[in-house]
Amino acid sequence: MAAPGRYDSAMRRKLIIDVDPGIDDAIALAAALFDPRLEVLAVTATGGNVPAGQASANLQALVTYLDPPRIPRIGIASEDGFLPERAFSMHGPDGLGGVDLPAVPLHGSHAAEKVIWETIRAHPHEVTILCLGPLTNLSRLLRRDPAILELLGDVLICGGTLHANGGATPAADFNFYCDPLAARHVISEPCRKTLLPLETSSQVVFGFDMLDQIPDAFSRAGRVLQRMLPHAFRAHRQFLGSEGIHLHDVVALVAVTNPELFRRQTVAADVETGGELTAGMLVIDRRQVREWKPNLDMLISCDVAAVKDCILRGLMTAADAT
């Protein structure tokens, strides 16, 4: 039996993290790589907060700089994904709040969907895919090999909205708006899916006092956090008029590690792809006599205090290990 507080490989949850780094993506990645309950087998990049090439570079630089005890496989983003024009960037010109990590040459050139495919094939029914960006990679994988559905474990998606309270547009969150076709494809597939919508992840708000609770700059993870989070606070104040910040992707990681902190509801949902004003909007069948079949578990609320505590403890664990 493993010693108290330790987890052997058989006890760890196997994870693929698909990201578009992004400040909150980077923080979620740092916490996941050092969480003793997780075995991060692969991390894959997709365009979203930054273009595909920048996303791949950010991912490689983060993993190399953090230097986790087990290096995951890395998949690079395709250059042909759709990216909306953005009036501003909440994440800074490099996507990481100007953290200025040392540039690292990409190791290998395996496409993200190939890495995901190979990882699932090597661990059938065991792998959870945590999608923190647009669903481009997962959609591409399912189109190229529909049979891989039979080997999928769980899929947890950070994206969509519960009541069409959008972020990128009045009706759509950023991840679904970036690639509505991919979002619709993945939502319609018959696999186990859990969605963390924007309204639920937005319940978790950190104030300025967070800067006094995160690790200091004497560790690698601490240095990354100390550089990125002040930018996040400035951007939320400048562009959103908010004194607090949301870390949507980090909340999604807690939904993987501590699902008991969330209340869920099974819904029947689809994604609008053609609307001039509503592209990327998640549509839920709420009719008295529902005609659509249930296809999705939605996390509709969370224990905010407990989720915040999980996040802060996860960041301290990452700092202690680096």
CATH number where 62 lies: 3.90.245.10
Element (H, E) at 158: strand 155-158
- Report pLDDT digits (tens) over 37-62: 999 999 999 999 988 999 999 999 99
Helix (H, G, I), strand (E, B) or coil at 284: strand
- Report pLDDT digits (tens) over 118-168: 999 999 999 999 999 999 999 999 999 999 999 999 999 999 999 999 999
Q: Which domain holds residue 116?
A: 13-321
Assigned domain for 115 exists: yes
Would the pLDDT of 83 be above 70? no
Assigned domain for 277 exists: yes
For the residues 265-278, what does the mean pLDDT come to? 96
**Pairwise CA distance, residues 232 & 66, whole Å:** 20
Q: What is the pLDDT of residue 104?
A: 85
Assigned domain for 62 exists: yes
The pTM (predicted TM-score) of the whole model is 0.94
**Pairwise CA distance, residues 178 & 300, whole Å:** 23
**Pairwise CA distance, residues 152 & 106, whole Å:** 27
Assigned domain for 8 exists: no
Assigned domain for 4 exists: no
Number of folded domains that form the chain = 1
Least Cα distance to 263 among 290, 297, 305 occurs for 297
Could you tell me the CA-to-CA distances from 281 to 46, 163, 172, 177, 192 in Å, in that order?
A: 20, 9, 4, 7, 21
Q: What is the pLDDT of residue 93?
A: 85
Assigned domain for 2 exists: no
Assigned domain for 7 exists: no
Assigned domain for 5 exists: no
